[in-house]
Structure 1
Amino acid sequence: MSTIVSFKNVQKTYDGETLVVKNLNLEIEQGEFLTMLGPSGSGKTTCLMMLAGFETATQGEILLQGKPINRIPPERRNIGMVFQSYALFPHKSVAENLAFPLKVRKVSKHEIEQKVTKALRMVNMEKFANRMPAQLSGGQQQRIAVARALVFEPALVLMDEPLGALDKQLREQMQYEIKQIHEQSGLTVVYVTHDQGEALTMSDRIAVFNNGIIQQLASPSELYEKPENAFVARFIGESNELKGVISALDHTRCTVRIDGGHSIRASAGAAIHAAGHASISLRPERIVVGEQARSCDNVFHGGVKDLIYYGDHLRVVMQICGRNDFIVKLPNDGAARQLRIGDSVDVGWMADACRALL
């Protein structure tokens, strides 16, 4: 794969004092779906806006297909853009909305008709060419916004929280459709969201932002299974966090003495060193209870404080290891349904199921 976008030592400040983006170095590969994920104010949207040309980098350089674009205006960057607000012209029909970026580029009338039809077909909206935006549902408007970003066959498509205004069911449907378009077209997509589930579902790679810095850049499975620090572990999925001190370290394994005197065997994150403080990250679905727990590397006794029914699984709130909000997710099977509030049970997990992180 070849690199299509490069951020080289890019910084951004709005007030001359606080850096919103700090020394960003990032390469985006041709044809990949890369998501910039993070909480509000983490710098992800600013990075997207600098790439689009709506913001200017304070320092550093952004390259598109090997060429510097810092001084090139947005309309000359050959980049498609999809916004959360759709940003369709209300006085133009669907076909006219799609034709607009082609007319600006002086495309012939015959070619415009062909490209508009092709783009509408990609989002399954051929029958709506003559509708006005106000006659469309939110999901239909977003499909048209996606088609408009694709119609002039850009080198790159940027999407800024495009599904934020949709309800859950429609959002999930659009996630699938956008991913299908990406796979079928071979386009490079840079997607911004604060929704971790959306990022995990759609992305080839995810850049997790916090305080203007990429905390980790990896595939969805690697981020979830092997977070590099406590922030990533907390932000990606759900995690029980137990704080303590390293009492033993042996290559990839360590022992952490947590508050209350308990010791936990865990896999050691890359930055862990002997005798230092650490935070253990443990996914709720990696924990077992009852007889199964007794064969685990880590076994404790805990009390059931609450049981919450989720259909396919039970969410069990437990008192264990000095915590009153320890979460266990159990499949909704016969054993799980036998649990009752107030029960005292064995709780266990393997050392490889939890990670010691900084």
Structure 2
Amino acid sequence: MFDVRDDAGFVRFDRVQKSYDGVSLVVKDLNLDIARGEFMTMLGPSGSGKTTCLMMLAGFETATSGDILLGGKPINNIPPHKRGIGMVFQNYALFPHMTVGENLAFPLEVRGMGKSEREAKVKRALDMVQMGAFAGRRPAQLSGGQQQRIALSRALVFEPELVLMDEPLGALDKNLRERMQYEIKHIHENLGVTVVYVTHDQTEALTMSDKVAVFDDGRIQQLAPPDVLYEEPENAFVAGFIGENNTLRGRVTRIDGDICTVRLDDGGAEVQALRVNVEGEGARTTLSLRPERVRIAAPEEEVDNAFDAKVAELIYLGDHIRVRVKVAGNDEFIVKVPNSAKGRRVSVGDALRLGWATQDCRALDPS
């Protein structure tokens, strides 16, 4: 179980569990603190528990056990509309019979705000997302990206301290989705509002977040800033879920401080790796290695962990070439070669000599 504590946590999940049938837990003993002003992303595959956590925080689901606190106060028994939380959904959830301005004014009217103050806040919120000229239109007259901007501004219009976002960009095309990622991040930085964001898109999580909580099987597998999550995965699930990753499997034959020697299953070759999450000598392990950390070495060059490989496929991706090779029994081993005029050109069928630094190869659990 992953357990993280911070006495200054603005949002706190304290031993929270959730079951829909009274038997199976979809969220298991969740302990998590989110600091005020932080952009926290809950990332994971379908069924991992991330959306259930968000819905419990919003008040649309009830925790089976444990406490959820906001600003130090338990909110388990407070209905959603009294929690003062902004919410952005993937399907926008705009009222189709209202204009854009009326959609934004609605949460202010519910809070008993006067007309002049409502108008000022609606204008400010629309200007924030560059939609000030669209106040008189109805949602059906807007594109998907414009509707999402309106949904975002409606969540912010009453100036909540906490905003929850559930896969808000999932319905947008790639270019618009990427642009909206930066816009949401910039709005967060300007306002200082706390954001809890749910997605299954790893690139989205890495781009936007201060911290990312990676969920699987109802638990947080790792909680860290994006760069740490990518560069220093703590287990095989995180290594495989975040970014592209090469894996080699074998058994630990020797441990020397932070370094271990692993005999690979195929052919018995040995690899030196950083010991991260292995039980001890004789234990099974999965080696994790990012494609960009693998080098194509000259025949006479001295490199760590040198292996002979054969090129099986080349994919041109603009700034780099994705080279799939067969090495050490792995037919899906990937090397990323920068697309430089000075870089070595390779062709399908070429024999290569690969190498990588011991510190870049992480020995993890055998899962």
What TM-score comes out, normalization by structure 2 length?
0.95
**Alignment-derived partner of residue 352 in structure 2:** 345
CA deviation after TM superposition for structure 1 residue 294, in Å = 3.2
CA contact (8 A) 1:294 1:348 kept: no
Of residues 322, 326, 333 in structure 2, which corresponds to 1:326?
333
Question: For residue 3 of structure 2, what is the aligned residue in structure 1?
Answer: none
Aligned to 1:317: 324
Residue 333 of structure 1 deviates from its aligned partner by 1.9
- In structure 2, how many angstroms separate the alpha carbons of the residues matched to 1:194 and 1:345? 36
Task: Report deviation, 1:195.
Answer: 0.1
Instruction: Determine the structure 2 residue equivalent to 1:223.
Output: 229
Identity %: 62
Once superposed, what is the RMSD of the aligned Cα atoms?
A: 1.3
Residue 270 of structure 1: how far off its partner (Å): 4.4
Is the contact made by 1:293 and 1:349 (CA closer than 8 Å) also made in structure 2? no
Tell me the CA shift for residue 336 of structure 1: 4.8
Residue pair 1:293, 1:299 contacting (<8 A) in 2 also: no
Q: 1:76 aligns with which of 77, 82, 91?
A: 82
User: 2:196 & 2:335 partners in 1: Cα distance?
Assistant: 35
| Counterpart in the other structure of 2:52 | 46
Which residue pairs with 1:20 in the alignment? 26
Give the secondary-structure state (helix, strand or coil) at the position aligned to 1:107. coil
Question: 1:213-252 alignment to 2 at 5 Å?
Answer: 213-252=219-258
**What corresponds to 2:158 in structure 1?**
152
**Contact 2:14–2:67, Cα closer than 8 Å, also in 1:** yes
Q: 2:278, 2:39 → 1: CA distance?
A: 28
AA of the residue aligned to 2:364: L
Q: Secondary structure at the match of 1:319?
A: strand
In the alignment, structure 1 residue 106 sits paired with structure 2 residue 112: yes
Q: Offset of 1:335 from its aligned partner?
A: 5.5
Q: CA deviation at 1:252?
A: 1.5
AA aligned opposite 1:268: R
Q: 2:195 is matched with which residue: 189, 194, 197?
A: 189
Mapped contact 1:272–1:357 kept (Cα < 8 A): no
Q: Which residue of structure 2 aligns with residue 209 of structure 1?
A: 215
Q: CA separation in 2, counterparts of 1:175 and 1:293?
A: 46
Give the corresponding residue for 2:38. Answer: 32
Bigger drift between 302-311 and 23-32 goes to 302-311
| Further displaced range: 35-44 or 324-333 | 324-333
| Inter-partner Cα distance in structure 2 for 1:48 and 1:253 | 39
Matched residues, number: 358
Rounded to whole Å, the distance in 2 between the matches of 1:22 and 1:271 is 24
Contact 2:51 2:166 in 1 (8 A): yes
1:248 CA drift (Å): 1.2
Structure 2 CA distance, aligned partners of 1:96 and 1:287?
A: 56
Do 1:293 and 1:347's aligned partners in 2 also have CA atoms closer than 8 Å?
no
CA contact (8 A) 1:297 1:351 kept: yes
Shift of 1:121: 1.2
* Partner of residue 264, structure 1: 271
CA distance in 2, matches of 1:252, 1:125: 54
State the one-letter code of the partner of 1:295. E
Establish whether residue 282 from structure 1 lines up as the match of residue 289 from structure 2: yes
Q: SS of the counterpart of 1:294?
A: coil
Q: AA paired with 1:211? A: D
Deviation per CA, 1:147-198: give whole Å up to 9, x if none.
Answer: 0000011120000000000000000000000000000000000000000000
The alpha carbon displacement at 1:255 in A equals: 1.0
Letter matched to residue 338 of structure 1: R
Deviations 1:327-358 (A, max 9, x none): 11110124556211111111111001110001
2:145 is paired with a residue of what secondary structure?
helix
Output the CA distance in 1 between the equivalents of 2:177 and 2:144. Answer: 10
Match of 1:119 in 2: 125
Structure-2 separation of matches of 1:76 and 1:323: 55
1:271/1:110 CA distance change after superposition, 3 Å: farther
Evaluate the alpha carbon distance shift between residue 283 and residue 311 of structure 1 in structure 2; reply closer, same or farther with a 3 A threshold: same
What amino acid maps onto 1:217 in structure 2?
A: L
**Which aligned runs of 4 or more in structure 1 are off by greater than 6 angstroms?**
none
Aligned-partner SS, 2:298: helix
1-structure distance, mates of 2:299, 2:36: 46
Name the counterpart of 2:311: 304
Cα distance change on mapping 1:161 and 1:303 into 2, 3 Å: same
Letter in 2 for 1:351: T
Distance in 1, matches of 2:22 and 2:360, equals 44
* Unaligned residue ranges in structure 2 (runs of 5+): 1-5
Shift of 1:272: 4.4
* Matched-pair contact (CA < 8 Å) for 2:278–2:285: no
d(CA) in 2 for partners of 1:110, 1:300: 72
